[in-house]
Amino acid sequence: MGSRAKLEKEYEAPAFEEIAAKADMKPAEVKRVYVYVGPSFKGVVNNGRIFKGTREDILSEIKANAEAAGMINKFAKISRLLIADTELAHAKEQLAKGGNGLSRAYAAILGNEEEG
């Protein structure tokens, strides 16, 4: 029983980056779950939308929707608000707190201020 406790204590789950490196993939190429935390735009993306896939594929879909809706000028800010599921809680805290990059991107999309 003592050796089991020692093994459990020494084991650390590999970081996402380590897994991606072993698979010879960039983090953007790894399929995972993302959530859009910005404001909704009809025909482009809705707040709380859950996406599954690579970040690159998801962003190309959103970009195509933004172009079709004539909102391509908002795409850069929209893309900043696409958050990996593992970072969702932290992102929501940042949005609630304000005064950071995520909250400025959110406000800039709505036209309340310029992105800094």
Residue 75 tokens, joined? 């795409």
Residue 60 tokens, joined? 């190309």
Q: What φ, ψ does residue 13 adopt, rounded to 5°?
A: -65, 140
Q: Please, are residues 16 and 86 in contact by the beta-carbon 8 Å criterion? A: yes
C-alpha span between 89 and 29 (Å, rounded):
23
* pTM, rounded to two decimals: 0.72
Reported as a single tens digit per residue, the pLDDT across 24-66 is: 655 557 899 999 999 999 999 999 999 999 999 999 999 999 9
Band of the pLDDT at 23, cuts 50, 70, 90?
low
Q: What φ, ψ does residue 63 adopt, rounded to 5°?
A: -65, -45
| pLDDT for 1 beyond 60 | no
Structure confidence at residue 27 (pLDDT): 56
The secondary structure element, H or E, covering residue 58 is: helix 55-68
